[in-house]
Amino acid sequence: MKGEGAGRPAVVLLSGGLDSATTLGLALGQGYRCHALTVDYGQKHNAELDCAARVAAALGATSHRVARIDPGGIAGSSLTDTAMSVAKDRTDVEIGEGIPDTYVPARNTLLLSLALGYAEVLRALDLFIGVNAVDYSGYPDCRPEFLSAFENLARLATRTGVEGGRFRVHAPLMSWSKGRIVQAAMEVGLDPALTLSCYDPDDHGRPCGRCDACILRARGFADAGVEDPAIRKA
Protein backbone atom coordinates (compact mmCIF):
# COMPACT_ATOMS: atom_id res chain seq x y z
CA MET A 1 0.00 0.00 0.00
CA LYS A 2 2.87 2.35 0.87
CA GLY A 3 3.52 4.95 -1.79
CA GLU A 4 0.21 4.41 -3.58
CA GLY A 5 -0.59 8.08 -3.08
CA ALA A 6 2.81 9.15 -4.49
CA GLY A 7 2.40 12.77 -3.43
CA ARG A 8 -1.03 13.12 -5.02
CA PRO A 9 -3.53 15.38 -3.25
CA ALA A 10 -6.41 13.80 -1.36
CA VAL A 11 -9.32 15.12 0.69
CA VAL A 12 -9.73 13.30 4.00
CA LEU A 13 -12.94 13.74 5.99
CA LEU A 14 -11.85 14.19 9.58
CA SER A 15 -14.42 14.26 12.36
CA GLY A 16 -12.16 14.21 15.37
CA GLY A 17 -13.15 10.64 16.19
CA LEU A 18 -10.80 7.67 16.28
CA ASP A 19 -11.88 6.21 12.93
CA SER A 20 -11.38 9.25 10.72
CA ALA A 21 -8.12 10.08 12.50
CA THR A 22 -6.85 6.57 11.78
CA THR A 23 -8.00 6.96 8.17
CA LEU A 24 -5.96 10.17 7.88
CA GLY A 25 -2.94 8.34 9.27
CA LEU A 26 -3.38 5.54 6.73
CA ALA A 27 -3.76 7.99 3.81
CA LEU A 28 -0.61 9.84 4.88
CA GLY A 29 1.18 6.48 5.19
CA GLN A 30 0.25 5.76 1.56
CA GLY A 31 1.97 8.97 0.50
CA TYR A 32 -1.03 11.20 -0.20
CA ARG A 33 -0.77 14.91 0.47
CA CYS A 34 -3.80 15.08 2.73
CA HIS A 35 -6.14 18.04 2.95
CA ALA A 36 -8.26 17.33 6.01
CA LEU A 37 -11.85 18.54 5.94
CA THR A 38 -13.98 18.76 9.04
CA VAL A 39 -17.67 19.47 8.65
CA ASP A 40 -19.55 21.12 11.49
CA TYR A 41 -23.12 20.15 10.72
CA GLY A 42 -24.57 21.27 14.03
CA GLN A 43 -23.60 18.15 15.93
CA LYS A 44 -23.96 18.62 19.64
CA HIS A 45 -20.49 17.28 20.36
CA ASN A 46 -18.53 20.35 19.30
CA ALA A 47 -15.48 19.16 21.21
CA GLU A 48 -14.92 16.89 18.18
CA LEU A 49 -13.97 19.93 16.12
CA ASP A 50 -11.10 20.82 18.47
CA CYS A 51 -9.95 17.20 18.35
CA ALA A 52 -9.93 17.30 14.56
CA ALA A 53 -7.62 20.33 14.52
CA ARG A 54 -5.21 18.67 16.96
CA VAL A 55 -5.21 15.38 15.04
CA ALA A 56 -4.59 17.10 11.68
CA ALA A 57 -1.61 18.97 13.13
CA ALA A 58 -0.20 15.97 15.00
CA LEU A 59 -0.33 13.58 12.04
CA GLY A 60 0.96 16.11 9.51
CA ALA A 61 -1.95 16.94 7.21
CA THR A 62 -1.05 19.45 4.49
CA SER A 63 -4.02 21.57 5.50
CA HIS A 64 -7.11 21.44 7.69
CA ARG A 65 -10.31 23.31 6.99
CA VAL A 66 -13.68 23.44 8.70
CA ALA A 67 -16.84 23.84 6.63
CA ARG A 68 -19.96 24.75 8.60
CA ILE A 69 -23.52 23.81 7.81
CA ASP A 70 -26.38 25.47 9.62
CA PRO A 71 -29.23 23.14 8.70
CA GLY A 72 -31.80 25.81 9.57
CA GLY A 73 -34.14 23.41 11.30
CA ILE A 74 -34.10 20.70 8.63
CA ALA A 75 -32.11 18.12 10.63
CA GLY A 76 -33.60 15.26 12.64
CA SER A 77 -31.25 13.15 14.74
CA SER A 78 -30.27 12.81 18.36
CA LEU A 79 -26.81 14.05 17.28
CA THR A 80 -28.09 17.42 16.07
CA ASP A 81 -31.48 17.90 17.70
CA THR A 82 -31.13 19.34 21.19
CA ALA A 83 -34.62 18.04 22.05
CA MET A 84 -33.55 14.40 21.55
CA SER A 85 -31.28 12.48 23.89
CA VAL A 86 -28.55 10.02 22.92
CA ALA A 87 -29.33 6.37 23.81
CA LYS A 88 -27.19 5.02 26.67
CA ASP A 89 -26.14 1.63 28.05
CA ARG A 90 -27.47 -0.34 25.09
CA THR A 91 -26.58 -4.02 24.86
CA ASP A 92 -24.67 -5.56 21.96
CA VAL A 93 -27.91 -6.88 20.53
CA GLU A 94 -29.55 -3.46 20.71
CA ILE A 95 -26.52 -1.77 19.13
CA GLY A 96 -26.51 -4.31 16.32
CA GLU A 97 -30.20 -3.96 15.50
CA GLY A 98 -31.66 -1.54 12.99
CA ILE A 99 -30.77 2.07 12.32
CA PRO A 100 -29.88 4.03 15.47
CA ASP A 101 -31.38 7.36 16.58
CA THR A 102 -27.96 8.87 16.03
CA TYR A 103 -28.47 8.40 12.27
CA VAL A 104 -28.26 11.86 10.67
CA PRO A 105 -30.38 11.88 7.49
CA ALA A 106 -28.15 11.78 4.43
CA ARG A 107 -25.10 12.70 6.51
CA ASN A 108 -22.42 10.88 4.54
CA THR A 109 -23.96 12.05 1.25
CA LEU A 110 -23.61 15.59 2.50
CA LEU A 111 -20.06 15.09 3.82
CA LEU A 112 -18.92 13.46 0.59
CA SER A 113 -20.58 16.23 -1.48
CA LEU A 114 -18.54 18.83 0.36
CA ALA A 115 -15.41 16.71 0.01
CA LEU A 116 -16.11 16.30 -3.71
CA GLY A 117 -16.44 20.05 -4.28
CA TYR A 118 -13.23 20.64 -2.34
CA ALA A 119 -11.47 17.90 -4.31
CA GLU A 120 -12.43 19.56 -7.59
CA VAL A 121 -10.97 22.86 -6.40
CA LEU A 122 -7.75 21.09 -5.33
CA ARG A 123 -7.70 18.95 -8.50
CA ALA A 124 -7.70 15.88 -6.28
CA LEU A 125 -9.36 12.61 -7.31
CA ASP A 126 -9.04 10.76 -4.03
CA LEU A 127 -11.46 11.09 -1.13
CA PHE A 128 -11.01 9.27 2.19
CA ILE A 129 -13.78 8.55 4.67
CA GLY A 130 -13.53 6.59 7.92
CA VAL A 131 -16.71 4.50 7.67
CA ASN A 132 -16.32 0.96 8.95
CA ALA A 133 -17.86 -2.45 9.47
CA VAL A 134 -19.34 -1.53 12.84
CA ASP A 135 -21.17 1.46 11.39
CA TYR A 136 -22.16 -0.80 8.50
CA SER A 137 -24.48 -2.71 10.81
CA GLY A 138 -26.61 0.35 11.46
CA TYR A 139 -26.08 3.23 9.06
CA PRO A 140 -27.18 2.77 5.44
CA ASP A 141 -24.65 5.31 4.19
CA CYS A 142 -21.70 3.32 5.49
CA ARG A 143 -22.11 0.40 3.06
CA PRO A 144 -19.79 -0.34 0.11
CA GLU A 145 -22.69 -0.05 -2.37
CA PHE A 146 -23.36 3.47 -1.12
CA LEU A 147 -19.74 4.45 -1.75
CA SER A 148 -19.82 2.91 -5.24
CA ALA A 149 -23.00 4.84 -6.03
CA PHE A 150 -21.31 8.02 -4.85
CA GLU A 151 -18.29 7.40 -7.10
CA ASN A 152 -20.68 7.00 -10.02
CA LEU A 153 -22.49 10.20 -9.08
CA ALA A 154 -19.19 12.07 -8.74
CA ARG A 155 -18.24 11.12 -12.28
CA LEU A 156 -21.50 12.57 -13.63
CA ALA A 157 -21.71 15.57 -11.29
CA THR A 158 -18.44 17.31 -11.96
CA ARG A 159 -16.38 19.18 -14.49
CA THR A 160 -13.56 16.77 -13.62
CA GLY A 161 -15.78 13.78 -14.42
CA VAL A 162 -16.89 15.28 -17.74
CA GLU A 163 -13.22 15.74 -18.60
CA GLY A 164 -12.49 12.07 -17.91
CA GLY A 165 -11.32 12.21 -14.28
CA ARG A 166 -12.44 9.37 -12.03
CA PHE A 167 -12.98 10.04 -8.35
CA ARG A 168 -12.28 7.28 -5.88
CA VAL A 169 -13.79 7.08 -2.42
CA HIS A 170 -11.38 5.23 -0.14
CA ALA A 171 -12.80 3.64 2.99
CA PRO A 172 -9.83 1.66 4.33
CA LEU A 173 -11.61 0.76 7.59
CA MET A 174 -14.73 -0.56 5.84
CA SER A 175 -14.33 -4.21 6.77
CA TRP A 176 -12.29 -3.78 9.93
CA SER A 177 -13.32 -4.52 13.50
CA LYS A 178 -12.88 -1.80 16.11
CA GLY A 179 -9.99 -3.83 17.51
CA ARG A 180 -8.16 -3.77 14.21
CA ILE A 181 -8.82 -0.03 13.89
CA VAL A 182 -7.21 0.53 17.30
CA GLN A 183 -4.19 -1.51 16.18
CA ALA A 184 -3.95 0.53 12.98
CA ALA A 185 -4.22 3.75 14.98
CA MET A 186 -1.17 2.66 16.99
CA GLU A 187 0.71 1.69 13.83
CA VAL A 188 0.22 5.10 12.20
CA GLY A 189 1.40 6.85 15.36
CA LEU A 190 -1.93 8.34 16.38
CA ASP A 191 -2.33 9.32 20.01
CA PRO A 192 -5.90 8.20 20.76
CA ALA A 193 -6.06 10.78 23.55
CA LEU A 194 -6.34 13.41 20.80
CA THR A 195 -9.57 11.85 19.53
CA LEU A 196 -13.14 11.90 20.81
CA SER A 197 -15.60 9.20 19.75
CA CYS A 198 -18.41 9.96 22.23
CA TYR A 199 -21.82 11.08 20.95
CA ASP A 200 -22.58 12.94 24.17
CA PRO A 201 -19.46 14.33 25.86
CA ASP A 202 -19.69 16.66 28.86
CA ASP A 203 -18.95 20.38 28.71
CA HIS A 204 -15.24 19.66 29.08
CA GLY A 205 -15.22 17.31 26.09
CA ARG A 206 -14.95 14.18 28.24
CA PRO A 207 -16.65 11.00 26.93
CA CYS A 208 -19.83 9.76 28.64
CA GLY A 209 -18.70 6.12 28.48
CA ARG A 210 -22.26 4.91 27.93
CA CYS A 211 -23.37 5.79 24.38
CA ASP A 212 -22.99 3.31 21.51
CA ALA A 213 -19.81 5.06 20.30
CA CYS A 214 -18.18 4.83 23.74
CA ILE A 215 -19.22 1.18 24.16
CA LEU A 216 -17.84 0.22 20.72
CA ARG A 217 -14.63 2.16 21.29
CA ALA A 218 -14.05 0.51 24.66
CA ARG A 219 -14.53 -2.90 23.07
CA GLY A 220 -12.05 -2.00 20.33
CA PHE A 221 -9.36 -1.08 22.86
CA ALA A 222 -10.10 -4.20 24.88
CA ASP A 223 -9.85 -6.39 21.77
CA ALA A 224 -6.56 -4.75 20.79
CA GLY A 225 -5.23 -5.12 24.33
CA VAL A 226 -4.51 -1.42 24.56
CA GLU A 227 -5.53 1.01 27.29
CA ASP A 228 -7.51 3.99 25.96
CA PRO A 229 -5.63 7.11 27.05
CA ALA A 230 -8.76 9.22 26.46
CA ILE A 231 -10.52 7.28 29.22
CA ARG A 232 -7.52 7.48 31.53
CA LYS A 233 -7.47 11.27 30.98
CA ALA A 234 -11.20 11.49 31.81
Check binding of 137 to its own copies (CB under 8 A): no
Q: For residue 205, state whether it binds its own copies (rule: CB under 8 A).
A: no
User: Which of 2-10, 62-70, 206-214, 223-231 is the region at the interface with its own copies (rule: CB under 8 A)?
Assistant: 62-70
The residue among 97 and 227 lying less far from its own copies, judged by its C-beta, is 97
User: Among 62, 113, 177, 183, which residue sits at the site for its own copies (rule: CB under 8 A)?
Assistant: 113
In the complex, the smallest distance separating the C-beta of residue 130 from its own copies, rounded to whole angstroms, is 17
Applying CB under 8 A, among 93, 145, 203, 232 the residue interacting with its own copies is: 145
Q: Which is nearer to its own copies, 23 or 80 (CB)?
A: 80
Instruction: Give whichever of 89 and 152 is closer to its own copies, judged by the CB atom.
Output: 152
Among 53, 114, 208, 226, binds its own copies (CB under 8 A): 114
Give how far Cα 145 sits from Cα of 20, 107, 141, Å.
20, 16, 9
Distance CA 56, CA 61 (A): 5
Question: Does residue 222 bind its own copies (CB under 8 A)?
Answer: no
CA 183, 185, 190: angle at the middle one, nearest 5?
140
In this structure, the strands spanning 33-40 and 126-128 are: unpaired
Give the whole-angstrom CA distance, residue 118 versus residue 172: 20
Residue 46 binds its own copies (CB under 8 A) = no
Q: How many CB atoms lie within 10 A of CB 25?
A: 25
User: Judged by CB under 8 A, does residue 57 bind its own copies?
Assistant: no
* Contact status: 141 vs its own copies (CB under 8 A): yes
Which string of b and e fits 155-181 if b means at least 16 CB within 10 Å?
A: eebbebbeeebebebbbbbbebbbbbb
Q: What spatial distance separates the first Cα and last Cα of the chain, rounded to whole Å?
A: 36
